[in-house]
Amino acid sequence: MSRSGWDLDGIDGRYREFAVRYGPEAEQLAATASVGGGHAFVTYLSVLDHWRKLPFRDPGLPPEVLADDWAGPEAVRLFERLVALLEGRALAHAAPHWSPGGRTR
């Protein structure tokens, strides 16, 4: 029933694409003592842009009705890991470009 209402194979495929694209980046970031602010900012925005579309397509079905190898949970853990690795550095890099009151230069 759920397969006729949602493109679960397509959604799963998008989660897998996210993991393939950003999994190696997460490993590299975790192994690097210092990540440049510019790289962190660009990667952070890319991760957010890619991720933001995924949760809206996922109907959030219970695990019992999904395939045993459903890629959603792994993708969520990867996304959370990337945010933890990048967010602070990315925002610190961007902060000098923000003026008080929210206006940009």
State the pLDDT at residue 84: 95
State the pLDDT at residue 16: 98
Residues 34-91: tens digit of each pLDDT: 889 999 999 999 999 999 999 999 999 999 999 999 999 999 999 999 999 999 999 9
Nearest-CA neighbor of 23 among 69, 72, 68, 81? 81
CA separation (Å) from 64 to 2, 69, 71, 76, 77?
A: 11, 12, 14, 18, 20
Name the DSSP class of 53.
T
State the pLDDT at residue 1: 42
Query: Between residues 19 and 4, which one has the greater pLDDT?
Result: 19
State the pLDDT at residue 3: 54
State the pLDDT at residue 35: 85
Domain of 65 in residue numbering reads as: 2-95
In a domain, residue 74? The reply is: yes
In a domain, residue 81? The reply is: yes
How many domains does the chain contain in total? 1
In a domain, residue 63? The reply is: yes
Reported confidence tier of residue 97, pLDDT bands at 50, 70, 90 = confident
CA separation (Å) from 26 to 47, 70, 78?
A: 11, 20, 8
In a domain, residue 33? The reply is: yes
In a domain, residue 101? The reply is: no
In a domain, residue 100? The reply is: no
- How large is the average pLDDT for residues 20-36? 91
